Amino acid sequence: MTVVCRDVVCPFCGSLCDDLEVTLENGAISQVKNGCALARSKFDHLGDIPSPRVAGQKVALADALKEGGRILGSARHPLIYGLASTTCEAQRAAVALAEKLGASIDSTSSVCHGPSTLAKQMVGIPTCTLAEVKNRADLVVFWGCNPAEAHPRHMNRYSLRPEGQFVTRGREGRTMVAVDVRRTATMRQADYSLLVPPNGDLEVLTVLRALINQKPVNAREVHGIALEELEQLVQIMQKASYGVLFFGMGLTMSRGSHYNVRQALRLVQDLNEHTRFTIIPMRGHGNVAGSEHVLTWHTGYPFAVNFSRRYPRYGLGEFTAVDLLRRREVDAALVVAADPGATFPREASRVLQEIPTVVIDPHWNQTAELARVFIPTAPAGIAASGTMYRMDLVPLPLRKIIDYPWPEDRELLESLAEEVSACSPSEAVASMTL
């Protein structure tokens, strides 16, 4: 039987494109229309369904959950990490489990846009939705991000080429600026580009702010960039009717980190003295933005939260996953919908092999190679329904379109919590979170 599912949301990246058309033949995906190369690779490769494993051996799901519950329940300071590629409903279950365990809980935010959130907490953020960008923005600045490769439909659907209510000529009606350390596929499409040396963003942003605010700049160049070039960029930004600055890891992962983002946020605030300007972080994983929302609803903090005193505490550098692992301050880990085995510095990820680690993921990944327990799950947004937040913080409902042999993340996390209770029934405490 052939079934065509329309308006399917792709859960891969923070763009959450919601116009995919997926054809099912006898319950299996046979064709994906409208998706980018990343979406097609995700939807086309759901066939390799892994099995639950403990110490490398295939086991029944119930046994994997039992061992996972035993590990987490007997740990003194477990870490729950990941949550970027799962639903808000599963993230909520992860927070409940963290509280029950007295664990630290951190999301992939801490190694992507965590510094952006810290900067937002410092100075605020003048932001907007992608619909507003589509309808109004006549200037689009991409700084330290490469949507052509990381968010392949972003420029077509939201930012550069769509015809909007007040930008009726699509690409012709918009000016595009790209700032990066290398000539990316995105930069090659720009009307104006600026190459900044690695770790040079803070100084360049600072001088741009000085020029906008008509402060004296006693230099003819900044990191090899002539002052005239920066004056030209300031003119472009001030002349815009509605500008938007999208930024990525180029700012958060370089020296200066949250100070780079703080300066970008202040730059946009300064520009609002001259014209309308907004800023949006290019969130990488499908629901990493949602993870910050869910943790904030429940604990008051967006990531790096610790429950060891039975009430939530927030500590960047203290309760962030890389730091906890590097300092060997956790004695067990639960990784959900993330792959720190591939994405963390080796110095931190190798600790996941030294301590008992439980992985919940739809796919066998590099963290699973290090883990004691692997629990397979239904891919969120494809074989499990739920809510995800787009990079502009618009929540979208995702539908289950195929059946899968394994339960979804939320259900598995709730089962793990039950196993933990079975291991240590006297540990039940009243919830302190909202």
Partner 1 sequence: MEEVEVVLVTGRTIKQGMGVGQGKQSDLYLQETAAAEFNAETLACLQVDEGDEVLITTEFGQDVFKARKGDLPPQIAFLPYGARANTLTGAVTEGSGMPAFKGLKARVRRCQE
Q: Which residues bind partner 1 (CB under 8 A)?
A: 12-13, 37-42, 44-45, 48, 106, 110-111, 114-115, 118, 146, 148-150, 152, 181-183, 185, 195, 197-199, 249-250, 252-255, 257-258, 284, 303-304, 316-317, 320-323, 325-326, 339, 341-349, 363-366
Dist CA 408 CA 402 (whole Å):
12
Nearest to 32 by CA among 11, 60, 61: 11
Shortest reach from residue 138's CB to partner 1, in Å = 27
Q: Which is nearer to partner 1, 35 or 162 (CB)?
A: 35
Q: Which is nearer to partner 1, 7 or 149 (CB)?
A: 149
Residue 32, phi then psi, degrees to nearest 5: -125, 120
Q: Which is nearer to partner 1, 9 or 271 (CB)?
A: 9
In the block, residue with structure tokens 């520009």: 271
Q: Which is nearer to partner 1, 41 or 165 (CB)?
A: 41
User: Which 3-state string (H, E, C) describes 385-424?
Assistant: CEEEECCCCCEEEECCCCCCCCCCHHHHHHHHHHHHHHHC
Shortest reach from residue 426's CB to partner 1, in Å = 34
Query: Per-residue b/e over 129-162, b at no fewer than 16 CB within 10 Å?
Result: bbebbbbbbbbbbbbbbbbbebbbbbbebbbbbb
Dist CA 308 CA 430 (whole Å):
14
391 and 14 Cβ atoms separated by less than 8 Å: yes
401 and 21 Cβ atoms separated by less than 8 Å: no
In the block, residue with structure tokens 């700084």: 143
Q: Which is nearer to partner 1, 199 or 232 (CB)?
A: 199
246 and 159 Cβ atoms separated by less than 8 Å: yes
Shortest reach from residue 173's CB to partner 1, in Å = 27
Shortest reach from residue 152's CB to partner 1, in Å = 7
Shortest reach from residue 421's CB to partner 1, in Å = 31
CA atoms lying within 13 Å on the CB side of residue 108: 27
Shortest reach from residue 197's CB to partner 1, in Å = 8
Q: Which is nearer to partner 1, 211 or 380 (CB)?
A: 380
- Say if residue 357 is exposed, middle or buried (CB neighbours under 10 Å; 0-12, 13-18, 19+): buried
Q: Which is nearer to partner 1, 185 or 429 (CB)?
A: 185
Shortest reach from residue 265's CB to partner 1, in Å = 16
Dist CA 387 CA 199 (whole Å):
36
Shortest reach from residue 177's CB to partner 1, in Å = 18
Shortest reach from residue 365's CB to partner 1, in Å = 5
90 and 409 Cβ atoms separated by less than 8 Å: yes
Q: Which is nearer to partner 1, 129 or 343 (CB)?
A: 343
Q: Which is nearer to partner 1, 73 or 362 (CB)?
A: 362
CA-to-CA dists, residue 343 to 8, 108, 353, 366, 380, angstroms: 28, 9, 15, 9, 20
